[in-house]
Amino acid sequence: MIKKAYAGLTALVCLLSATSGHADQPTPWGMTMQPAATPIMRENTWFEHYTLWFIVPITLMVLLLLIVVCVRFRASANPVPSKTSHNTVIEVIWTVGPVLVLLFLAVPSFNLLTAQLTLPENPDVTIKATATQWQWNYEYEGSGETPVAFDSYLLKDPDRASAGKTDLATYPRLLAVDNELVLPVNQTVRVLVTSAPTDVIHSFAMPSFGIKIDAVPGRLNETWFRAEREGLFYGQCSELCGKDHAFMPIAIRVVSEDKYRQWLTAAAKDLPGAYKTLMAQTGPTAPSVDLAENTAR
Mean pLDDT, range 192-213, rounded to an integer:
94
- The pLDDT tens digits for 31-71 are 788 889 999 999 999 999 999 999 999 999 999 999 999 99
Pick from 220, 174, 164: nearest CA to 197: 220
Q: How open is the CA angle 255-261-263, to the nearest 5 degrees? A: 75
Q: What is the pTM of this model?
A: 0.80
Q: Give the pLDDT score at 76.
A: 86
- Between 39 and 24, residue with greater pLDDT: 39
Cα of 116 vs its chain's centroid, Å = 12
Amino acid identity of residue 199, one-letter, is: D
Q: Give the pLDDT score at 145.
A: 66
What percentage of residues in the chain have a pLDDT greater than 90?
64
Pick from 211, 160, 163, 202: nearest CA to 183: 211
Domain 1-83+119-297 has CATH 2.60.40.420: yes
Backbone angles phi, psi at 90, to 5 degrees: -65, -40
Contact 185, 227 (CB under 8 A): yes
Domain ranges of the chain: 1-83+119-297
Q: Give the pLDDT score at 22.
A: 39
> Partners of 139 in the beta sheet?
128, 149
Residue 262 has pLDDT above 70, yes or no: yes
Q: Give the pLDDT score at 147.
A: 85
Residue 255 banded pLDDT, cuts 50, 70, 90: very high
- Please tell me whether residue 98 adopts helix, strand or coil conformation: helix
Residue 95 banded pLDDT, cuts 50, 70, 90: very high
Residue 23 banded pLDDT, cuts 50, 70, 90: very low
Write the Ramachandran bin of 252: left for phi over 0, alpha for psi from -120 to 50, otherwise beta.
beta
- The pLDDT tens digits for 180-189 are 999 999 999 9
Q: Give the pLDDT score at 294.
A: 43
Distance (Å, whole) CA 280 – CA 294: 24
